[in-house]
Amino acid sequence: MTSSLPALSARRKRLVPALLASAMLTLGCGASPTPLAPNQFGSVGAPHHGVLTHSAELPVRGKGFRRFRPRSPVYHGLPRLVKAVEEAAADVKETFPQSSPLVIGDLSAKTGGKIPRHNSHRSGRDVDLLFYVTSPSGIPRTNPGFYSIRADGFVRFPDKSYGLLDLPRNWHLIQTLLQDPSIDVQFMFMSRNIEARIIEYALAKEDDLNLIWRAQTVMFQPGDSLPHADHIHLRIACTPLESIHGCLGGGPRWSWYPPLPRLDLDSPLQLSELIGSSDPLPPPLKLAKQ
């Protein structure tokens, strides 16, 4: 037994952080970064109970997009989410040169945590995207705010003008985000009526049925809030590396995601040696694909 400890020492340094992350996932708790947990950073905890470090801020405006609230402090998120949204908006603008900008609602606060108007948006993995709209005659117009789109695709704005859900641009935005290798889309919350209109359009125009299936998989009308007939609430999943550093849950891990890290040990006694305990422990914890 004693002769095996030196060889385990180096492994202990590598695996203890994984053990801590495994325990967090097993218990379903989201802790905040502290000196006692220096390995936790980035998106820490769950979207409804988490914090954020090393965030990036979405610019007030850029190619193909602008903020809905230019002076708001809640436009921070994981850098890969911010970059993906910027690039998707730019791609729509390149494809549709006459496009009005994508209007972007709240992300998260710079350090995460509770923000006004939301129960989630706490860990840098959520962003609200207002739907692209046109005039009734098909001319692109900037969406002026969070106004519910009816089942027939029309919306009435406060100035008594009407808008129409722009299916080509909204589908292009959705498929661009789904195909972005830097993010794994976990949810696109929207009303069932709008989902139906977008999927109907995609089935008529899109040859990639697998892409449409993925879109249908991540589109949901939320059950704990309003139907989201006025915007897409986009949430991305934790990467395997982020899961080691404290990122938790917020939804299922779909079949196309890369698997989470696994920690396989030969016996409970070996696990005891890794964490420096002489007490027997229960069977090894595993970080497994969920």
The pLDDT value given to residue 227: 85
Picking from 2, 36, 39, the residue whose alpha carbon sits closest to that of residue 273 is 2
Q: Is the dihedral of CA 239, 240, 245, 251 positive or negative?
A: positive
Distance CA 81, CA 151 (A): 30
The pairing of beta strand 133-134 with beta strand 162-165 = antiparallel
What does the CA dihedral 28, 218, 227, 206 come to, rounded to 10 degrees?
Answer: 170
Q: Which residues, including other chains, have CB under 8 Å from residue 223's CB and lie 6 or more apart? A: none
The pLDDT value given to residue 36: 62
> Measured at the alpha carbon of residue 14, what is the angle toward residues 10 and 16, in degrees to the nearest 5?
110
Confidence check: pLDDT of 281 > 80 = no
The pLDDT value given to residue 286: 47
Question: What pTM, to 2 d.p., does this model score?
Answer: 0.81
Under a CB-based contact definition with an 8 Å cutoff, are residues 287 and 245 in contact? no
Q: For the chain, what are the domain ranges? A: 2-49+244-274, 53-240
Q: What is the full DSSP assignment across 94-163?
A: HHSTTPPPEEE---B-TTBS--TT-SS--SS-EEEEEPPEE-TTS-EE---S--PPPTTSEEE-TTS-EE
| pLDDT tens-digit map of 12-34 | 444 444 444 444 433 334 456 77
Q: How confident is the model at residue 274 (pLDDT cuts 50, 70, 90)?
A: low
Quick check: helix, strand or coil at residue 185?
Answer: strand
Distance CA 122, CA 139 (A): 36
| pLDDT tens-digit map of 201-222 | 999 999 999 999 999 999 999 8
Q: Which pair of structure tokens corresponds to residue 115?
A: 């923000």
Element housing 200 (H / E): helix 192-205
Beta bridge partner(s), residue 187? 235
Identify the CATH assignment for 53-240 out of 3.30.9.10, 3.30.1380.10, 1.10.340.30, 3.90.79.10. 3.30.1380.10
The pLDDT value given to residue 111: 96
DSSP-derived letter for residue 259 is P
CA distances from 221 to 22, 139, 194, 198, 201 (A): 31, 28, 10, 14, 18
| pLDDT tens-digit map of 69-117 | 999 999 999 999 999 999 999 999 999 999 999 999 999 999 999 999 9
- Highest mean pLDDT out of 25-34, 37-46, 84-93, 265-274: 84-93
- 226 or 174: which leads in pLDDT: 174
What does the CA dihedral 77, 85, 128, 106 come to, rounded to 10 degrees?
Answer: 40
| pLDDT tens-digit map of 243-261 | 999 999 999 999 999 998 8
Confidence check: pLDDT of 284 > 50 = no
Q: What is the full DSSP assignment across 166-184?
A: -HHHHHHHHHHHHT-TT--
Distance CA 53, CA 33 (A): 8
| pLDDT tens-digit map of 116-171 | 999 999 999 999 999 999 999 999 999 999 999 999 999 999 999 999 999 999 99
